[in-house]
Structure 1
Amino acid sequence: MPLTLLSVALFAVLGAWARYGQTLLVQTLFGRSFPWATLSINVFGSFLMGFLFFLTLDRVSISPELRTGLLTGGLGAYTTFSTFSLESLSLFESGETMRGLLYIGASVILSLIAALLGAFLSRNLGA
């Protein structure tokens, strides 16, 4: 158990740094008029979750502690559902109902597609 907790904590730091770095990059490239950074993080994080979950379940053997650290700590800190919720609320409160609905729909649909794609790729590597 202590090794699992350490692994979760270590990967959480790395996931948070990755999230922050991607936020800075995407906001620099695309601005802040739409929550592109959070959307890109949630979609890519969903892809990584689908890919790494099945890759480490079916194809690559890693320790349970490392797997939990990577998936729970790393991707848990990297993805941004609480930020997504706040940004959605902000769009609605500022009267941008259609943008809010677009953001929610795009986040859910694209993230699900990304998770499915990640799962598909990890299950079919070299097949």
Structure 2
Amino acid sequence: MKQVVLVFLGGGFGSILRFLISKAYNSHLQHFFLGTFLVNIIGCLLIGFILGISARGNYLTPNQTLLLSTGFCGGFTTFSTFSYEGHSLLKTGELFQFSIYTILSIVIGVIAIALGLWLSKML
């Protein structure tokens, strides 16, 4: 039951922060959802770092890892919103913007995970 509460708390904080960032930045660029993009890239960097330091075994307890990775990062990042926004770009015929948004999100997301893992080794 404790683990469920940790995921719930982390997810709640992550979701609130995602909402605030998306609200602040999604209207800045036409045909590019900057808020969702930033949230997902930051989330990739964070989860790479969190899981990297967790794997070292001496920085985070399993419960802290659960709170931060599954809870916070799970609530913070949003694949469903990313997919919906991609669908809306396709629906309006914005094929180029859809391609850029999708490719950048995936490629930079994977790079951010690798960077987070690398940064975790610096501790």
Give TM-score, length-normalised by structure 2.
0.92
Secondary structure, aligned partner of 2:26 = helix
Q: For each residue in 1:96-117, what CA deviation from the matched residue of structure 2 results, as whole angstroms up to 9, or x when unmatched?
A: 0010011100000010111100
Check conservation: 1:4, 1:66, Cα contact below 8 A.
no
Structure 2: runs of 5 or more not aligned: none
1:114 aligns with: 112
Q: CA deviation at 1:64?
A: 1.4
Structure 1 alignment gaps of length 5 or more: none
Matched residue, 1:47: 45
Instruction: Supply the AA of the counterpart residue of 1:95.
Output: G
Give the aligned length: 123
**Aligned equivalent of 1:98:** 96
Report the residue type matching 1:22 in the other structure.
I
Name 1:8's counterpart in structure 2.
7
Which residue pairs with 1:65 in the alignment?
63
- Seen in structure 2, the aligned counterparts of structure 1 residues 9 and 32 have a Cα distance that, compared at 3 Å, is farther
The alignment yields a C-alpha RMSD, in angstroms, of: 1.5
Residue aligned with 1:62, SS:
coil
**Residue number in structure 1 paired with 2:18:** 19
Amino acid paired to 1:68 = L
Query: Percent identity at matched positions?
Result: 30
TM normalised by structure 1 equals 0.89
- What letter matches 1:107 in structure 2? S
Please name the residue that 1:87 is paired with. Answer: 85
**Change in 2 beyond 3 A, CA 1:44/1:93:** same
TM-aligned CA deviation for residue 38 of structure 1 = 0.7
Please report how far the alpha carbon of residue 66 of structure 1 lies from its aligned counterpart in structure 2 after TM superposition.
2.2
